[in-house]
Amino acid sequence: MARKKITVVGAGNVGATTAQRLAEKEIGDVVLVDIVQDMPQGKALDILESGPVYGYDTRITGTNGYEETRDSDIVVVTSGVARKPGMSRDDLLKINAGIVKSVIENIIKTSPDTILIVVSNPLDAMTYVVHKVSRFPKHRIIGMAGVLDAARFSTFIAMELNVSVENIHAFVLGGHGDTMVPSTRYTTVAGVSVEELIPKARLEAIVKRTRDGGAEIVNLLKTGSAFYAPSAAVVDMVEAIVKDKKKILPCAALCEGEYGINGLFVGVPVKLGAKGIEQIFEIKLNAEESAALKRSADAVKTLCEQVDKLL
């Protein structure tokens, strides 16, 4: 059976760590692309030389062009500038929209049938940029945010209760950032709602920390943003697609009426399999959750309207 070909565009911290994790799990052969001369080649060679020690035979190639990416099964887009302290995701909009547009124009020439996973920030708006430029069907455009947000939420709950993260199923909806909607009602610890296990005030503090999860790391690092957990989240999504796992994961997907949202990429639970997004799961929300999700969608809509002016 031929191995899958996975391209990672952007060989910075998120891209290179994604390539490393993909190689170590032998999910497919990896092409690492970046505009910086020789840098992706150097990182690819370094990851390749880890193979004898870690015991993987993944082929990994670094390149400054797109010819090597031809006929990729999946393309992960991490390109763009990272957030700096004090910078909002929205500040990134103008710069990264131009970068992502150029990447997608190149990808659609060489891999017209690929599945696109978008990681660039501001996430929901960049996924919309990819949709507008590529004109791919909606099942082949997926934004990575919810898996990361749910991982952060799970981490903080595990720390609070001193239980294994494996016991926790976190449920997160909405845009990536300040308006995200971590649902405490649907978040469970070994099947029990977290609302029954953690007092309301503590839970609200954990929800706030989850919302601010990216900014917390930016402020601690001083010179960059998170990349270990984001790359782990990407690999979870890639693996679900490559292995046709039909795994339910929170991802940014194009909603066309689901949850009362139309024409926007917003974080919702989806079934990920070989075709990409195979189904959006509609969960019954209460009035408070619906209102929070609508606020989140409205914030995404504002960004997308700015994108329409830029493109």
In this predicted model, what pLDDT tens digit does every residue of 4-51 receive, in sequence order? 999 999 999 999 999 999 999 999 999 999 999 999 999 999 999 999
What pLDDT is attached to residue 285?
Answer: 94
Alpha carbons within 13 angstroms on the beta-carbon side of residue 70 total 2
Q: Read off the pLDDT band of 90 (50, 70, 90).
A: low
Catalytic member of 131, 139, 169, 176: 176
Where does CATH 3.90.110.10 sit in the chain?
146-310
Write the pLDDT tens digit of every residue in 46-89: 999 999 999 999 999 999 999 999 999 999 999 998 766 676 66
Is the bond into 182 cis (omega within 30 degrees of 0)? Answer: no
The predicted pLDDT at position 92 comes to 79
Cα gap 272→250, rounded to integer Å: 10
Burial class (CB in 10 A: 0-12, 13-18, 19+), 39: middle
What local confidence, expressed as pLDDT, does residue 299 receive?
92
| Fold (CATH) for 146-310 | L-2-Hydroxyisocaproate Dehydrogenase; Chain A, domain 2 (3.90.110)
Does the pLDDT of residue 132 top 80, yes or no?
yes
One DSSP character per residue, 64-85 reads SSSGGGTT-SEEEE--SPPP-T
- What confidence score (pLDDT) does residue 89 get? 61
Architecture of domain 5-143: 3-Layer(aba) Sandwich (3.40)
pLDDT for 310 equals 84
- Which residues in the chain are classed under CATH 3.40.50.720? 5-143
Summarised one tens digit per residue, pLDDT across range 213-265 is 999 999 999 988 999 999 999 999 999 999 999 999 999 999 999 999 999 99
| 131 tagged catalytic | no
